[in-house]
Structure 1
Amino acid sequence: MKISYNWLKEFIQTDKSPEDISQILTGIGLEVESLEKVQAVPGGLEGLVIGYVKEAQQHPNADRLRVTKVDVGGAEDLQIVCGAPNVATGQKVVVATVGTTVHPNQGEPFKINKSKIRGEVSEGMICAEDEIGLGESHAGIMVLDADAEVGTPAKTYFKLNDDYLLEIGLTPNRADAASHLGTARDIAAFLKIEISKPDVSAFKVDNTSRTIPVTVEAEAACPRYASLTISGVTVQDSPQWLKERLAVIGVRSINNIVDVTNYVLHELGQPLHAFDADAIAGNQVLVKTYAEGTAFVTLDDAERKLSADDLMIGNAEGPMCIAGVFGGAGSGVKDSTTDVFLESAYFNPVSVRKTSKRHGLKTDASFRFERGVDPDITVYALKRAALLIQEVAGGVVSSEISDIYPSPVQPFSVEVTYRNIDRLIGKAIGQDTIKAIIKALDIEIINESAEGLSLLVPPYRVDVTREVDVIEEVLRIYGYNNIEIPTQIRASLNNSARPEKDTVQNAIADLLSSNGFNEILSNSLTSSSYADSLDNAVKLLNPLSSDLDIMRQTLLYSGLEAVAYNQNRRQADLKFYEFGKAYFYEDGKYTETQRLAVFVTGASAQEQWNQKASPVSFYHLKALVDGLLSRLGITDYTTDEINTSELSYGLQYNFRGGKTLVKFGSVLPAALKKAGVEKEVFYADFNFDTLLNLVRKNKVVYKEISKFPSVRRDLSMLVDTQVTFGQLKQIALKTERKLLTDVNVFDIYQGDKLPAGKKSYALSFMLQDEEKTLTDKAIDAIMQKLIYNFGKEAGAEIRK
């Protein structure tokens, strides 16, 4: 939100500098994200002075140029060559002296130098209004009033004042501060000064010749609707002061009527809308909804299909405006408008938000209506706007104010106790201070006792409905920095399970990062096109867009989108991991699980002078998965081959009881196509919740490193093709539980030299005794048992 320092000072009388105001606002919860000096026109008219043309003679060498003598209040007159057709003796003009940088409306700024033009010396430039940013005309030089004082800086003559723009990071709950009035209210409360609101006592109804009846059919969506008619206005450019005031906060001037509505919106926080009264068919206004699919053309000339829930401002023939969001193309104020119907309303925030999201329209009005404007300021803002319109466009108020407000919005009743205030603030700040702050924030004290206060909070403070909210208000105005840090801090012991989730997550992240992986963080919202079944999807009632309409059920597609993004930028060799949650709706309940996703694609390592780059394979990912589980101390699991809706082939590791630890393999081409990925990607999906539970159950056992050497023995065997290495490893470890420390496969062969349905495994076995050196006799006995059990349980034939 943008706030003008000069505009702010119209509400509060203070000599605080812009920097001081920034610090105050940040300290009371309205964080100022930036502060910059703003000039009313580019360059601020620096170096420009008022001059008097004493002579204007024909240039001896050019028909369209004149040589002038100009008095600018200096010791000597300046000779200036001027090409404007309207330059003449006796004029008061704006002069850019030598050394001045001129900022024209079009083109780049340029510096005025002393020069010769067709043989005649020129010591400056007599300026047109578009050459110095004061207008659009280039028909000739600016000719000022005769009473303009020679030598006066142009900045002073045109009454230009530098301003400062404060950019406030307004949080969604602070709708009350979405205006200069709201911001000034907080500053006044902090500084303990009064606030001055614009005076509307001059408002009066001149006649009732143009009364336009209003009917509100949708009272729930429009609790209050106020309006009046102003006749005889002249639509034209806004005066300079109004243009400048809006320009500082980045609002483009349109015309004097529309500019007034924008001015009041940013001044008071109340959105307004002006209609051309002659465009209101049937001379009646209807606040209602229309049939589903009704076509409506908005101000941007786009045709939109209305929802049956969209609140509209209409007339006898159809809709004119999307209430609280956007105007229509046919009912707005035009250059030919003479009578204006002015609207000031309070719309239901939920209704406006849904309509705004539905049509993808974000406006200054919808921003405020969605968060909740002040229902009690409606008529005041209407009077303020009417007076301003009369000031800048003329006209008379030609109707009574129509204020339809059948069920007034009530203030919030809140009870607070001094004990809780002191307890939560951490300091006794005094009852008088508490009451002064509460009153300064427009909160009414209706009853006071020794224990506390009974309060009525105005309805525009939509975020102050509980005792703790009031205490927060008191604290932020009192000042967080005024609360001393206590010398004694009390804390309770945390009995949460160890190791903590973050400890395990950091250990995994360190391992993956050390192996060249980069962590990614993706949006939990995703497209329903990625869902296997929408029946189990967690759908959003009010999605931000059609591409973000459900909560993700897997981390696969968010990771693939990151892969596609990088591959499209010539980054083909990728290693990613992500910690995140997956969300499901099952058996009438919403559930979420913590996942760890790992992605690898491209080359396993960069190409070097002594080796070529080789592509990653399934086994690169398997090695990583095995290493990660080993790092966590998880070794007791079974292995199954799988084929899922995400993986074309892969493995699944299961813990006892059927709990899935991880699924990993090659991603299906159909899934790659959905995310726009063209190259093969290998993906692992860990159930992080299960990993964490297993890690917490692990008991760390330390033992001395054996003094005795280990021994390796190898076996080559023929087995059926369906026999896996995992099965052979389990047989081996079951056969020799004490001395067998490791089993590994170092060769696999399957081909025409072997019998049909057979494959060859070459396994290595590591044996070690903690108490003595193993003898050949003991080793041979173990190997014979292994050979026997491999043959018995797996049908293995030992190859000699």
Structure 2
Amino acid sequence: MKVSLNWLRQYLDIDLDAESIGQILTGTGLEVEGMEKVESIPGGLAGLVVGHVLECGKHPGADRLSLTRVDTGAGEPVSIVCGAPNVAAGQYVIVATVGAKLYPNEGDPFTIKKGKIRGEVSEGMICAEDEIGLGQSHDGIMVLDQEYAPGTPAATVFELEEDYVYDIGLTPNRSDATNHLGVAFDLAAALNVLHDKNVRVERPDVSAFQAGDAAPVKVTVHDATQAPRYAGLTIENLTVAPSPDWLRQRLQAIGVKSINNVVDVTNFVLHELGQPLHAFDLDKMAGGEIHVEKLPEGTKFTSLDEVERTLSADDLMICDGLHQPMCIAGVFGGLDSGVSDTTTRIFLEAAHFEAGTTRRSSMRHTLRTDAARVFEKGSDPNVTVFALKRAALLLEELAGGKVTSQLLDLYPNPVEPLKIKVRDQKIREVIGADLARTQVRGILESMDMGVSALDDETLEVAVPTNKSDVTREIDVIEEILRIYGFDNVPIPGEITTAMIVAPNPDPNYIRELTGDLLVANGFYEMMALSLDESRYYQEKGEEGQLEGVVYINNTSNVHLDIMRPGMLQSALETVAHNHNRQQQDLRLFEFGRTYHLDREKNSPYQEVNHLTLTLTGRKTAESWHGGQAKNDANFYTLKAAVEIVLKRLGVDNYRTAEVEGDDYQFGLRYHKGPMVLADFGLVHTKQLKQRQIKSDVYFADLNWDNILKVLPKKPVQVQTPSKYPSLRRDLALIVRKDVKFADIERLARKAEKKFLTAVNLFDVYENDEQLGAGKKSYAVSFQLESDSKTLSEKEVDKAMRGIEGSLTKQLSAEVRR
């Protein structure tokens, strides 16, 4: 949200600089994320001064040019060549001195330089109004209608306004601060409480408002729960024209485009008071009535941006007497009912709409308007009539209008200020400071809250209706703390804490340990949404909703309609996002959850924790060094990363199988019985095409819940390497083609548990003629060693006989001699 300092000064008499005010606003919880200097004329007319034309004659080398001598207040008069037909001696003009930068209405900015024009020296430029952004005329130079001292800055002559605009990160709970007046109350409270000022907020004066005698437009609200208050009046004899400078400057400073005086007044009041308004052209309102109602599903509506929209049966609409839609309530107006250059009569609406209804319509039609943002936070139902009077007075002043109708106010269930009991002791406990009751009262009253004492320990606070989120005692205390200032809360001299026994193994510690391990191995942590798009899963289920998937009603983004049932799509979306930004080499990991629906269980909604690894591109950065041809990440790069994690956590003795499902072209599964520990492999091209990914992607999905279940209860110990030599024995084994190396390693370790330390596959050979159909040869090495002695040949031979026997018996392996 943007807030103008000059606008704030309309309600507060403050003399602090912009930087200091920004710091105070941040201290109250209105965090200033940026501050920008705004000038009503680009460049602020810097370097432009009043000049007095002392002499003016024809240029000796050009009939259409004049040669002038001008007093600019800088000592000796300067020579300026001027092409304007109306320049003459004795005039007071605007001169751009050498070095001044001009911002013309058309074309790029340019800097004035000293030079020669047709052989004559020119030391400046006498300006036309379009050349310096003050108007559109280029018929000649600007001639001032009164005398000024030469050298007077042009900014002083034209009373240019310099403003500072704060970009405030407004939190969703601050319904009271969606407007300048609300921000002014916070600023005044902080100035009075913390800076010993004595300022008060001056509200706009609407005492001059007078309603007309005519009957108001007939309005029917079909559901008062969604439109609790609806007010309006008729204004006639309007003249639609450009807004005056002060109004345009106020709006343009906060990024609102000036349209015309009528529309600008509604936008001004919105940002001043936080009350959206809408002006309907009475001559375009069929039937002369208004119905606040919902229309049938699929009704067409052309909005102000000339887009035809299909309405939902849940959209609250402002309709005319024929029940034709004119406006999405609280969100956006229609093309055919708005104010145009020929409008002379309007019905001016000020209403309070239910926050949820407005937000859903705004999100459904992706119309994030300023009005919708105010309503969805919870606008003040008791400011509507005040805002209506404020706008009517401005329209009478700026557009010549006249209020001709009585003021209509449909408010069947008035909202009263909420009264909350606040205990002195609770304030001290929560804030951590011993605030005097007089100090507390001062803070609350400075924020326009009514305060009365119930007894010596309890206050009753009447919360203004613009603070829709302040509903409990703790909320009031938060308001007190905001103004008192977090920096003013004393730091305690001691810290007390409760003893908490962490489970063993501690899941948080294990997660941090694993994350640090992966970062040390070149991975970056990613965090994806837990929401996903069902269209990426449609092929895996039947028509309609997918089996076992948790659907949600997401009004913010209708495409994200399910809780993610798998982790792969999140990883692929991240890869695609990075590839589109020329980041091709990725090593990512994520701790996240998947969500499933099993209606047969007592708790049908199931959450599963995962750790995922994603690899694509090169393993290391491109370099002049050799070997880049084999530098791409591959299946074995991913396999090594998975095994690093499992080994560091002490998880071993798992079985290996081929991965199942259609997410992978090929891959492996590590499991212990039915308990899956990890699936990993090369992602299937079908999945990559959905995201338009052209590179290979390797993905590992570790079931974190299962891994935590199989963790050893004792910490992983560091083992001293044996000081005795190890011995290696190689075997050439002829086995069936369906036998995996993992089967050989598992059986070997089971057969020799005492001395066997490593098993490695170093060659695979296939030849049906030599080995037989369906056979292949594995060359496998076995490393044996002892921690306490040097192994004898006899001990090694015995161990190898046991391994050979197990492989022969279990796998029908044949040892080649």
Asked whether the two chains share a fold, i.e. TM above 0.5, the reply is yes
Q: Of 419, 429, 440, which residue of structure 1 is paired with 2:425?
A: 419
**What's 2:378 paired with?**
372
In 2, the alpha carbon distance for the partners of 1:612 and 1:160 equals 63
Quick check: 1:47–1:100 contact (8 Å CA) kept in 2?
Answer: yes
**What's 1:485 paired with?**
491
Deviation at 1:97? 4.2
In 1, the alpha carbon distance for the partners of 2:54 and 2:210 equals 50
Structure 1 residues 430-439 or 120-129, which shifts more? Answer: 120-129
In 1, the alpha carbon distance for the partners of 2:121 and 2:800 equals 110
Amino acid at match of 2:223: A
Query: Structure 1 residues 46 and 745, CA, compared in 2 at 3 Å: closer, same or farther?
Result: closer
Deviation at 1:573? 4.8
Amino acid at match of 1:664: F
Amino acid at match of 2:478: E
In 1, the alpha carbon distance for the partners of 2:148 and 2:710 equals 87
In 2, the alpha carbon distance for the partners of 1:58 and 1:160 equals 34
Amino acid at match of 1:575: R
**What's 2:127 paired with?**
127
Amino acid at match of 1:719: V
Deviation at 1:73? 6.7
Deviation at 1:137? 2.8
**What's 2:180 paired with?**
180
Deviation at 1:246? 1.6
Structure 1 residues 785-794 or 190-199, which shifts more? Answer: 785-794
Structure 1 residues 100-109 or 6-15, which shifts more? Answer: 100-109
**What's 2:311 paired with?**
306
**What's 1:679 paired with?**
695
- Output aligned runs, 1:284-303, within 5 Å: 284-303=289-308
Deviations 1:256-278 (A, max 9, x none): 11111111111111111122221
Q: Of 270, 282, 286, which residue of structure 2 is paired with 1:265?
A: 270
Quick check: 2:505–2:713 contact (8 Å CA) kept in 1?
Answer: no
Quick check: 1:56–1:88 contact (8 Å CA) kept in 2?
Answer: yes
Query: Structure 1 residues 217 and 732, CA, compared in 2 at 3 Å: closer, same or farther?
Result: same
Deviation at 1:183? 0.7
Deviation at 1:145? 3.9
Amino acid at match of 1:5: L
Q: Of 640, 648, 651, which residue of structure 2 is paired with 1:631?
A: 648
Amino acid at match of 2:437: Q
Deviation at 1:457? 1.7
Deviation at 1:199? 0.6
Quick check: 2:729–2:783 contact (8 Å CA) kept in 1?
Answer: yes
Describe the SS at the equivalent of 1:745. Answer: strand
Deviations 1:633-659 (A, max 9, x none): 111212222331312332211135x22
In 1, the alpha carbon distance for the partners of 2:142 and 2:217 equals 44
Deviations 1:77-101 (A, max 9, x none): 7665443445567765434345533
Q: Of 670, 675, 700, which residue of structure 2 is paired with 1:659?
A: 675
Structure 1 residues 701-710 or 212-221, which shifts more? Answer: 701-710
Amino acid at match of 1:787: E
**What's 1:445 paired with?**
451
Query: Structure 1 residues 742 and 111, CA, compared in 2 at 3 Å: closer, same or farther?
Result: closer
- Output aligned runs, 1:19-418, within 5 Å: 19-50=19-50, 62-66=62-66, 80-87=80-87, 93-113=93-113, 116-118=116-118, 122=122, 124-146=124-146, 152-192=152-192, 193-205=199-211, 207-209=212-214, 211-317=216-322, 318-418=324-424
In 2, the alpha carbon distance for the partners of 1:387 and 1:617 equals 73
Describe the SS at the equivalent of 2:326. Answer: strand
Query: Structure 1 residues 568 and 96, CA, compared in 2 at 3 Å: closer, same or farther?
Result: closer
**What's 1:697 paired with?**
713
Amino acid at match of 1:270: Q
Indicate whether 1:578 and 2:578 are aligned.
no
**What's 2:569 paired with?**
557
- Output aligned runs, 1:373-772, within 5 Å: 373-498=379-504, 500-531=506-537, 532-533=540-541, 534-567=546-579, 572-587=584-599, 589-602=604-617, 610-611=626-627, 613-614=629-630, 615-655=632-672, 658-695=674-711, 697-701=713-717, 705-752=721-768, 753-772=770-789
Describe the SS at the equivalent of 1:627. Answer: helix
In 2, the alpha carbon distance for the partners of 1:10 and 1:394 equals 24
Quick check: 1:416–1:453 contact (8 Å CA) kept in 2?
Answer: yes
Deviation at 1:429? 1.0
Describe the SS at the equivalent of 1:613. Answer: helix
Amino acid at match of 1:626: E
**What's 1:796 paired with?**
813
Query: Structure 1 residues 34 and 400, CA, compared in 2 at 3 Å: closer, same or farther?
Result: same
**What's 2:797 paired with?**
780
Amino acid at match of 2:350: S
In 2, the alpha carbon distance for the partners of 1:351 and 1:424 equals 35
Structure 1 residues 134-143 or 332-341, which shifts more? Answer: 134-143
**What's 2:195 paired with?**
none
In 2, the alpha carbon distance for the partners of 1:148 and 1:343 equals 48
Structure 1 gap segments, 5+ residues each: none
Deviation at 1:538? 3.1
Quick check: 2:73–2:149 contact (8 Å CA) kept in 1?
Answer: no
In 2, the alpha carbon distance for the partners of 1:319 and 1:339 equals 19
RMSD (Å) for aligned C-alpha atoms: 2.8
Quick check: 1:497–1:696 contact (8 Å CA) kept in 2?
Answer: no
Deviation at 1:572? 4.9
Quick check: 2:42–2:103 contact (8 Å CA) kept in 1?
Answer: yes
In 1, the alpha carbon distance for the partners of 2:171 and 2:694 equals 42
Structure 1 residues 186-195 or 97-106, which shifts more? Answer: 97-106
Deviation at 1:341? 1.7
Quick check: 1:71–1:150 contact (8 Å CA) kept in 2?
Answer: yes
Q: Percent identity?
A: 49
Query: Structure 1 residues 414 and 694, CA, compared in 2 at 3 Å: closer, same or farther?
Result: farther
Quick check: 2:285–2:320 contact (8 Å CA) kept in 1?
Answer: yes
Deviations 1:188-213 (A, max 9, x none): 112223211011101112x3358422
Deviations 1:169-222 (A, max 9, x none): 1111112111110111011112223211011101112x3358422221232221
Quick check: 2:504–2:713 contact (8 Å CA) kept in 1?
Answer: no
Query: Structure 1 residues 334 and 68, CA, compared in 2 at 3 Å: closer, same or farther?
Result: farther
Query: Structure 1 residues 550 and 149, CA, compared in 2 at 3 Å: closer, same or farther?
Result: farther
Deviation at 1:161? 2.8
Query: Structure 1 residues 758 and 62, CA, compared in 2 at 3 Å: closer, same or farther?
Result: same
Query: Structure 1 residues 696 and 64, CA, compared in 2 at 3 Å: closer, same or farther?
Result: farther
Question: How many correspondences in the alignment?
Answer: 798
In 2, the alpha carbon distance for the partners of 1:23 and 1:770 equals 67
Deviation at 1:609? 5.6
Deviations 1:558-582 (A, max 9, x none): 2223333455566555433333222
In 2, the alpha carbon distance for the partners of 1:704 and 1:132 equals 81
Deviation at 1:537? 2.8
Query: Structure 1 residues 63 and 234, CA, compared in 2 at 3 Å: closer, same or farther?
Result: farther
In 2, the alpha carbon distance for the partners of 1:510 and 1:441 equals 48
Structure 1 residues 630-639 or 437-446, which shifts more? Answer: 437-446
Query: Structure 1 residues 145 and 232, CA, compared in 2 at 3 Å: closer, same or farther?
Result: farther
In 1, the alpha carbon distance for the partners of 2:85 and 2:442 equals 66
In 2, the alpha carbon distance for the partners of 1:506 and 1:127 equals 67
Describe the SS at the equivalent of 2:771. Answer: coil
